[in-house]
Amino acid sequence: MNAFRYAQAHDAASALATMASDPGAAYIAGGTNVVDLMKDDVVRPTLLVDITRLPMRGIDTLPDGGVRLGALATMSEVADHAAVAARFPAVAQSLLLSASPQLRNMATIGGNVMQRTRCAYFRDVSQACNKRVPGSGCAAISGVNRQHAVVGGSKQCICTHPSDLAVALLSADAIVHVRGRSGDRAIPIDRFHVLPGTTPQRETVLERGDLITAVELPATASARTSFYLKVRDRASYEFALVSVAASLDVRAGTVRAARLALGGVAPIPWRSHDGERALVGKPANAGTFAAAAQAATRGMRGYGQNDFKIALAQRAIVRALSQVGAPS
Ligand code: SF4
């Protein structure tokens, strides 16, 4: 591991100022992602700015039925919170299906949405990877790509985003609160991550030094009726081959509102507007759910080893929608 300096921030202002003092600085909170990457020599921060003492760990219920998650709340704390489990079941489920109990006790909500891809070529510094070294190529496109994207990729990068939580946040219309050098911003989660295009090294809309302070879960008609389904190679401590977060507001047998998001299929947590359009105004039945699965996967394309993900996504979508929208 490279030598690096360490500084502890005591408030947001000092965190931002310390970050600005060194172009090679990086934030550290739970450390479950950045320390791994440092050990593998994938990232080489010259200064780690520890933000764990910032007062951003609370989980607060909001008067309108929403919940505000401090960015430093751990995955375990959020998953176990009664209001999150009752009002946003897909969010709690996504966390409990992530990582291991030990990691969930350390990893934070802010870090979770910022985590880097698990593409093996990204983590192997002997391989070509445009995300790690822009312009070096992408070893995955003609390599072992069973885990890779079937939608949203580019000629530069076909990785998948590893976060389960971020997929569930899409189904909850979550808002990411950020503090930067020019002030505070609120970013809807579906505008937070960016597709690789020709700049796969850029993964979010954050500017250098921006600090995530909270993730807000607003009260919506469909949030309470939500479900997170994760399909993976083994039953625990594994990333998704395909995952689905679905939330439906069904009244008198008709879908009034829908959110449909997929994980494991794209370089970003993938919201399917086409799938949602195929649901709203339609009867909540098996035919509608099958049509939504077709709409959500239209245009997906595999790279050989990952072709199976398209049919897998269709079946997972139908199963998740049936869970939240089955006629009672
Ligand atoms: Fe790198 Fe993306 Fe290609 Fe993986 S898919 S090797 S992360 S450029």
Residue pair 110/72 in contact by the 8 Å Cβ criterion: yes
Residue pair 116/35 in contact by the 8 Å Cβ criterion: no
Looking at residue 326, its pLDDT comes to 78
CA 269 to chain centre: 5
The mean pLDDT value for 285-305 works out to 98
pLDDT surpassing 70 at residue 35: yes
Burial 69-93 (b: 16+ CB within 10 A, else e): bbbbbbbbbbbebebbbebbbbbbb
Spacing, Cα 271 to ligand 1 middle (Å): 21
Distance CA 74, CA 29 (A): 10
- Mean pLDDT computed over every residue of the chain: 97
161 lines ligand 1 (CB under 6 A): no
Looking at residue 245, its pLDDT comes to 98
Looking at residue 1, its pLDDT comes to 72
Q: Is 47 helix (H, G, I), strand (E, B) or coil?
A: strand
Spacing, Cα 133 to ligand 1 middle (Å): 10
Residue pair 156/196 in contact by the 8 Å Cβ criterion: yes
Report the share of the chain in percent with pLDDT over 70. 99
Higher pLDDT, residue 160 or 237: 160
* 198 φψ region: left (φ > 0), alpha (ψ -120 to 50), beta (else): alpha
Residue with CA nearest ligand 1 atom 3: 138
Spacing, Cα 122 to ligand 1 middle (Å): 6
Distance CA 131, CA 141 (A): 13
Residues carrying CATH 3.30.43.10, the chain: 5-50
Spacing, Cα 50 to ligand 1 middle (Å): 28
DSSP classification of residue 242:
E
Ligand 1 atom nearest residue 132's Cα: 1
Q: DSSP labels for 8-36?
A: E-SSHHHHHHHHHT-TTEEEESS-TTHHH
19 lines ligand 1 (CB under 6 A): no
Q: Which residues face 226 on adjacent strands? A: 247
Spacing, Cα 94 to ligand 1 middle (Å): 25
pLDDT tens, position by position, 13-31: 999 999 999 999 999 999 9
Residue pair 52/46 in contact by the 8 Å Cβ criterion: no
138 lines ligand 1 (CB under 6 A): yes
pLDDT tens, position by position, 59-84: 999 999 999 999 999 999 999 999 99
Res. 5 pLDDT band, cuts 50 70 90: very high
Spacing, Cα 225 to ligand 1 middle (Å): 35
Residue with CA nearest ligand 1 atom 7: 122
Q: Is 52 helix (H, G, I), strand (E, B) or coil?
A: coil
226-325: CATH topology is Enolase-like; domain 1 (3.30.390)
Residues carrying CATH 3.30.390.50, the chain: 226-325
Best probe residue, ligand 1, of 122, 148, 239 (max atoms within 8 Å of C-beta) = 122
Distances, alpha carbon 135 to alpha carbons 132, 195, 208, 303, 316, in Å: 9, 17, 21, 21, 36
pLDDT surpassing 60 at residue 328: no
Does domain 5-50 match CATH 3.30.43.10?
yes
Report the share of the chain in percent with pLDDT over 90. 97
Looking at residue 276, its pLDDT comes to 98
Residue reference for tokens 């609120």: 186
Listed in sequence order, the residues at least 6 apart from 246 whose beta carbon sits closer than 8 Å to its beta carbon are: 90, 171, 226, 227, 229, 258, 259, 260, 261, 317, 320, 321, 323, 324, 325
Q: Which residues face 306 on adjacent strands? A: none
Looking at residue 327, its pLDDT comes to 59
Residue pair 207/137 in contact by the 8 Å Cβ criterion: no
Spacing, Cα 127 to ligand 1 middle (Å): 9
Best probe residue, ligand 1, of 116, 125, 157, 198 (max atoms within 8 Å of C-beta) = 157
pLDDT tens, position by position, 238-252: 999 999 999 999 999
Best probe residue, ligand 1, of 43, 123, 129 (max atoms within 8 Å of C-beta) = 129
Res. 260 pLDDT band, cuts 50 70 90: very high
pLDDT surpassing 90 at residue 2: no
The mean pLDDT value for 95-116 works out to 97
DSSP classification of residue 236:
S
Spacing, Cα 253 to ligand 1 middle (Å): 44
Residue pair 39/31 in contact by the 8 Å Cβ criterion: no
149 lines ligand 1 (CB under 6 A): no
152 lines ligand 1 (CB under 6 A): no
Residue pair 200/134 in contact by the 8 Å Cβ criterion: yes
Ligand 1 atom nearest residue 149's Cα: 5
Residue pair 68/62 in contact by the 8 Å Cβ criterion: yes
